[in-house]
Amino acid sequence: MKNIILAIETSCDDTSIAIVEDFNVIALKTNSQIEDHSKNGGVIPELASRLHSENIFNLINITLAEANKTIHDITQIAVTQGPGLVNALQVGVTVAKTLSATLKIPVYGINHIEAHIMSPFIGMKFKEVPKAAVIAVASGGHTLIGKLNTRGIEIVGSTKDDAIGEAYDKVSKILKLGYPGGPVIDELSNSFIGENDLKAPVTDMKGFDFSYSGIKSWVLKNKDNYPADKLANAFQTSAVMQLTNKIDQLVKKTKYKNVVIGGGVSANSLLRKQIENDKLNIFVPKLIYTGDNAAMIGYTLAYKLNQNKIKPMKLTMDAKPRMKIGE
Ligand code: KG4
Ligand code: ZN
């Protein structure tokens, strides 16, 4: 029998629903709350959870219709259990558990970070997914690097202060360019023509950790002395280089030939250019799967069902705002 997974993602400011049949996404609908939050310059958790509650059932119906399925065709439910904003996660988890109990089908809690790591593989069959790789997640909430191998995922470094996407968002606020900052700064940086003689320092933390607050302070200190495109270009060069430097170091250390990057910042044009390498296989998500989306949640469940390692969630289990990989 085919697996037809209903996937639900509500960890932050996107309500997202997907239908994943075996390893393929047959429908994906995301209701972004960006416009509602941008007036406040960032995500307001209380508003996020209210909007998830308002939108989720309608979105499930629309996504099922697009997939040409009814709720009774669904064989499993996948839901983001954590990490994320607790009240936002609870909306998805409660809806998922209720559907599971009513329809008498299993529900599985999926780790959001793990799903970002799996996002480049969406559409690939279990056997096609590399079993050893250097992995990195670069998003608004996380910056981390680690290893994927037969033992699972091991995180070896993470940010000690701001996440890379958070730094983009803060720099955008400093330059009065709105929220989210990533796409605007990326575009502004690309609009800078010629050699940039303005260099921003590249933080080099011990081991595999990251720090992005220094580069943000550097922009704040220099904001009145240079044009915005020059500043954005210097910032982007430094931000991306800090990440690619650590990836290079871990590739050298592990000798792995596969590199996987997921998360909202994996949409970045400079990162995608810099990461290209003849000697390595680079896996980045399709642009529609870079930000928060339910397709990666459903695909991660499909993968784990094939691994035979995942157990259904009990109805007494709740959201885990600080969920760790492998928990
Ligand atoms: O993965 P995501 O949608 O949400 C979290 O789980 O955090 O990532 C959102 C982050 C935001 O900080 C946004 O500014 C950043 O991804 N982002 C980018 C780009 N597109 C989105 N950062 C750099 N360059 C981009 N093109
Ligand atoms: Zn995310």
Please write the tens of the pLDDT for every residue from 202-246: 999 999 999 999 999 999 999 999 999 999 999 999 999 999 999
| Count of structural domains, the chain | 2
Domain shared by 141 and 275, yes or no = yes
pLDDT tens per residue across span 61-98: 999 999 999 999 999 999 999 999 999 999 999 999 99
Domain shared by 108 and 22, yes or no = yes
On the question of pLDDT at 49 being above 80, the answer is yes
What is the CATH number for 57?
Answer: 3.30.420.40
Write the CA distances from 300 to 20, 24, 58, 106, 189, integer angstroms.
10, 11, 24, 15, 34
Residue nearest to atom 18 of ligand 1 (CA): 182
Mean pLDDT of 263-281: 97
Domain shared by 181 and 153, yes or no = yes
Domain shared by 116 and 168, yes or no = no
On the question of pLDDT at 42 being above 80, the answer is no
Q: Is residue 137 one of the residues assigned to a domain?
A: yes
Q: Is residue 169 one of the residues assigned to a domain?
A: yes
Confidence class for position 38, pLDDT limits 50, 70, 90: confident
What pLDDT score does 272 carry? 98
Domain shared by 277 and 137, yes or no = yes
In testing the pocket of ligand 1, which one of 32, 34, 168 has its CB within 8 Å of the most ligand atoms? Answer: 168
Q: Which ligand is nearest to the CA of 273?
A: 1
In testing the pocket of ligand 1, which one of 190, 265, 290 has its CB within 8 Å of the most ligand atoms? Answer: 265
Domain shared by 41 and 164, yes or no = no
Q: Is residue 91 one of the residues assigned to a domain?
A: yes
Domain shared by 294 and 258, yes or no = no
**At 144, which helix (H) or strand (E)?**
strand 143-149
- DSSP one-letter string for 245-287: HHHHHHHHHH--SEEEEESGGGG-HHHHHHH--TTSEEE---G
Q: What separation in Å is there between the alpha carbon of 147 and the centre of ligand 2?
A: 19
Q: Is residue 319 one of the residues assigned to a domain?
A: no
**Structural domain containing residue 88:** 4-122+289-307
Q: Is residue 313 one of the residues assigned to a domain?
A: no
Domain shared by 49 and 110, yes or no = yes
What pLDDT score does 185 carry? 98
Domain shared by 146 and 275, yes or no = yes
Residue nearest to atom 1 of ligand 1 (CA): 264
On the question of pLDDT at 1 being above 80, the answer is no
Confidence class for position 34, pLDDT limits 50, 70, 90: confident
Q: Which ligand is nearest to the CA of 143?
A: 1
Domain shared by 57 and 172, yes or no = no
141 lines ligand 1 (CB under 6 A): yes
Give every CB contact of residue 271 below 8 A, 6+ residues apart in sequence.
138, 240, 243, 244, 261, 265
